[in-house]
Amino acid sequence: MKTPDPKPKIDGRGAELHLDDYLPYRLSVASNRVSRLIARLYQDRFGLSIWQWRVLAILGAGNEVTAGEVAARAAMDKMAVSRAVSALMARGLISRTTSDKDGRARILSLTQTGASIYTEIAPLARAQEQHLLAGFSPDDITTATRFMRAIEARALALTDDEAEV
């Protein structure tokens, strides 16, 4: 009687995938839960989607950027940015003008109403962040932030490497 082949090992771990121990899954779940937590602040009160809030937040930080720059900065799909921009423009929360430097570029910026909403939501979002991080030491937060930025940079580098192949 032949014995079955042992399961292949990868880096000392089994080849099977257990989502609970799979870092990309954990990051996705954490991101979704945190996004939903913060979303409560602006969805009910202002009728904004997560994607619309991200566009407002980028513009609210004093940035006048193109939709493509928003997509790159927020790691959002260009179609999601386009839908968010259209909805925000329809509500009069952002405006789009032609760039003085490049006549083909369309620059997004907050309107006075959009800036007012941003000014109201931003401190609420910061307070929610403080509630989320309560119980973590400053060193834990610094380490986690560094780790997340390193993961983002590595993923971007791997994506860029794949594009070159």
Six-digit token pair at 16? 């099977």
Q: CA-CA distance, 44 to 54, in Å (whole number)?
A: 16
- The answer to whether 53 and 128 are in contact (CB under 8 A) is no
pLDDT reported for residue 129: 94
Average pLDDT over residues 82-86: 96
3-state secondary structure (DSSP) of residue 110: strand
Six-digit token pair at 14? 């089994």
Asked whether the predicted pLDDT for residue 11 surpasses 70, the reply is no
Q: What is the pLDDT of residues 144-153, one digit of tens each?
A: 999 999 999 9
Q: What is the pLDDT of residues 120-145, one digit of tens each?
A: 999 999 999 999 999 999 999 999 99
Beta strand segments in the chain, E: 9-10, 13-14, 94-98, 106-110
Q: CA-CA distance, 67 to 105, in Å (whole number)?
A: 9
Backbone angles phi, psi at 48, to 5 degrees: -100, 140
- Of 5-9, 21-25, 39-43, 60-64, give the lowest mean pLDDT range: 5-9
pLDDT reported for residue 107: 92
- Of 51-55, 98-102, 105-109, give the lowest mean pLDDT range: 98-102
pLDDT confidence tier of residue 41, bands split at 50, 70 and 90: confident
In this prediction, what percent of the chain has a pLDDT beyond 90?
64
